[in-house]
Amino acid sequence: GENVEQHPSTLSVQEGDSAVIKCTYSDSASNYFPWYKQELGKRPQLIIDIRSNVGEKKDQRIAVTLNKTAKHFSLHITETQPEDSAVYFCAASIEGGGADGLTFGKGTHLIIQP
């Protein structure tokens, strides 16, 4: 089955600086890669996703890059703000397959220092 590794487990950055979280996956058949933000005790919220036919996607301060050959993808947050503090999860799945439940990374606790 799929295995998703995520680093770092904790990331502390100064407000206004950029944050980068990296993930690798093992199953070359995976073609859908979402990123979720989860605040304590709440539901995961989708912040951005990318499919394997695209190398990069951007939405305002958030961007995701995908390297299919190396099987890794990264989340980039620019101009970080205090409200960006949360746990971020990457995930992978095979979209359109019969079993497309998400395999999640272990999460990154992002701390924005004022």
Interacting residue with other proteins among 41, 53, 69, 83 (CB under 8 A): 41
Q: Which 64-103 residues touch other proteins, going by CB under 8 A?
A: 89, 93, 95-97, 99-103
3-class DSSP state for residue 84? Answer: helix
Find the binding residues for other proteins in span 15-34 (CB under 8 A): 32, 34
Handedness of CA 57, 109, 21, 51 (dihedral sign): negative
Query: From CA 108, how far away is CA 106, in angstroms rounded?
Result: 7
* Residue of 3, 10, 28, 45 interacting with other proteins (CB under 8 A): 45
Q: Which stretch binds other proteins (CB under 8 A): 14-22, 35-43, 54-62, 71-79?
A: 35-43
- Measure Cα distances from 53 to 16, 65, 67, 71 in Å: 31, 12, 10, 13
Nearest approach in angstroms of CB 88 to other proteins is: 11
